[in-house]
Amino acid sequence: MRVAVVGHVEWIEFARVPHLPSAGEIVHALEAWEAPAGGGAVAVVQLAKLAGAATFYTALGDDERGHRTERGLTELGVRVRAAYRPEPQRRGFTHLDADGERTITIIGRRHGPKAEDGLPWDELDDTAAVYFTAGNPGAVREARRAGALVATPRAFAELVEARVELDALVSSGSDPGERYDVGRLEPPPRVVVRTAGAEGGTFETADGRRGRFEATPLPGPPKDAYGCGDSFAAGLTYGLGAGMELEAALHLAARCGAACLTGKGPYEGQLRQA
């Protein structure tokens, strides 16, 4: 099954600290590492682990970090199709505290692909499912070529202008940047999913059906919350593309989110088979 992400990536420096620093405080990292991450990157790596392969349609800064990002994603099993921009690669810094919670600082403008970038969009005609995190309205329309299209509200302005029907919109009940009120997109998504971490979440379909889904038990001790929501979205995308019923796709998504929480960084714990 062919799956893909149309979206963004950041080069992230991670530092595990005993606690988040308060104003004026210096803390010493217990360990540190770097990796390509951000919503699009985490989701496409999770999709590659579920499906055996996945393609990432993106845009990168034409600098050392941007080229390192492409190499890093390729090493993680992703087929990268990128347009390079004449500006620095977007990057960020993440503190991970003793409870595994992440606090993120992002530096630079989000790079998303554009329909006019000349990427091989025709490949999406044979793609079962796409998750959209960033890009211009034309890129949203290209993504709609796929059998199923899932998106995040972080790309809300582009989704509004594109005026395509989403199979699912994955929003957060706690993150202000990912909240969504029904009725703000036209046509409306077939289903709006609202995640609530350990509390599971809710869904509402365009025809008015509502329900809840449960979080799944962690397959190990919690280590790192970075990437859990994006892994969830990837699991839902895979499930809908595979033709699963909504409840089954949400169960797979919850498994992906729980698995991610048990690994160091966004990739170590991700679920490897659907």
| Structure confidence at residue 174 (pLDDT) | 61
Residue 263 tokens, joined: 């690994």
Question: How far apart are alpha carbons 195 and 174 in whole angstroms?
Answer: 8
Query: pLDDT 10s per residue in the chain (274 long)?
Result: 999 999 999 999 999 999 999 999 999 999 999 999 999 999 999 999 999 999 999 999 999 999 999 999 999 999 999 999 999 999 999 999 988 889 999 999 999 999 999 999 999 999 999 999 999 999 999 999 999 999 999 999 999 999 999 999 999 866 655 666 666 799 999 999 999 989 999 999 999 999 999 999 999 999 999 999 999 999 999 999 999 999 999 999 999 999 999 999 999 999 997 5
DSSP state of 111: P
What is the domain partition of the chain in residue ranges?
3-21+40-261
In the chain, beta strands by DSSP E: 3-6, 10-16, 31-37, 54-61, 78-85, 91-96, 102-107, 129-132, 148-151, 168-172, 191-195, 201-205, 210-213
Cα torsion angle, 149, 155, 156, 159, sign: negative
DSSP state of 248: H
| Structure confidence at residue 179 (pLDDT) | 60
| Structure confidence at residue 274 (pLDDT) | 56
CATH 3.40.1190.20 fits domain 3-21+40-261: yes
Question: How far apart are alpha carbons 64 and 5 in whole angstroms?
Answer: 23
Determine how many CB atoms are found less than 10 A away from the CB of residue 266.
30
Nearest to 80 by CA among 99, 102, 54: 54
Asked if 17 contacts 45 with a C-beta cutoff of 8 angstroms, the reply is: no
| Structure confidence at residue 177 (pLDDT) | 57
